[in-house]
Amino acid sequence: MRILAVLAALSALAAPATTWYITVAGLGGDPLFDQRFNALAQEMDKLVRTTPDAKVTTLTGPASLKVRIRESLADAAKNGKPEDTLVVTFIGHGNFDGQDYKFNIPGADITAAELAEWMDRVPAQKQAVINTTSCSGASIDMLRRDNRVIISATKSATERLATQFARFWVEAMRNPEADTDKNEVVSVLEAFRFADKKTVGFYETQKRLATEHAMLEDTGKGSGVRAPGPDNGHGLLAGQTPLVRFGSLQQAAKSPEKQALLKKREEVEAKIEKLKYEKAAISVEDYRKQLGSLLLELAKVQEEIDR
């Protein structure tokens, strides 16, 4: 009996982290927008289901009710763990009433204040809100919190027209070109940069005035930036938050034996990114020494993963 208890305890300690994906397609207002929003949500659903140990909830059409969104987050709050990751994505239209952002869904709309309250109850220490709607920039101030990345398709409430950002965000999740560091993981930061570049290119190609400017906030303090990086302190958490995995790494993540190695690799990569953000505060010699040591450690871990 004692042996069984020890084995059960070890099994619980070894339980893999879960990625909770909650994707909601809101009201389109006309059949064309309804079809577009639902199609993007369904494509995301297929992409994220390839993630090992994923808990996926995709709400579209009549199912995208406030009560269903609340129930999905309540499930993550009840059954989630601190080591988990939570990714909430809104696709559709939003508006701002002068006090709070609202995401347009069947029945009563959901406000940024309500979403923040429900997400605050989820123990996952890595959280991301991907708000691809019009007026989404108005949701940042209410949603920001430590250990949470917020992506908005617009910089403010004044950008009210339908956005293009959502389709390029989904493209980032299936296009290996978004994986700029070629580690077979598309982080939230990489997806943001890819989708933003594509969105900017769309308006330039169409010779149209840009009516959306995507923002990223992951410090828990600001209102978001257009170009996250060491200079402004944004992007560190987003770069450490995996969105989807590709290729051989996706297969390796299915192996219980290699999950610990993958976690170790993510930890080393996080240390490397943190070091880059601290580069200006340390000597060149110290930076190179620390970077060399971390790169060597990363290479050794990767070698074990590839075996």
Asked if residues 42 and 48 have their Cβ atoms less than 8 Å apart, the reply is no
| pLDDT given at position 150 | 98
Distance CA 118, CA 159 (A): 26
| pLDDT given at position 16 | 73
| pLDDT given at position 76 | 98
Q: Calculate the alpha carbon distances from 94 to 101, 114, 136, 169 in Å.
A: 7, 14, 6, 17
Q: What is the CA radius of gyration of the chain?
A: 20
Q: What is the DSSP string of 83-112?
A: T-EEEEEEES-EEE-SS-EEE--SSSPEEH
| pLDDT given at position 254 | 62
Averages of pLDDT over each 10 residues, the chain, 307 residues: 37 66 96 96 95 92 96 98 97 94 97 98 97 97 96 97 97 95 92 98 96 97 93 94 78 66 79 81 83 83 78
Right CATH for 10-246 from 3.90.105.10, 1.10.540.10, 3.40.50.300, 3.40.50.1460: 3.40.50.1460
Q: Calculate the alpha carbon distances from 49 to 21, 151, 306 in Å.
A: 9, 21, 23
* Residue 84, token pair as written in the block: 């988990």
For the chain, which residues make up each domain, given as ranges? 10-246, 255-306
Distance CA 59, CA 64 (A): 5
Which position has the token pair 């149209």?
Answer: 208
Q: Calculate the alpha carbon distances from 59 to 12, 88, 111, 153 in Å.
A: 31, 11, 17, 20
Strand partners, 279: none
| pLDDT given at position 146 | 95
Number of neighbours of residue 75 by Cβ within 10 angstroms: 15
Asked if residues 103 and 26 have their Cβ atoms less than 8 Å apart, the reply is yes
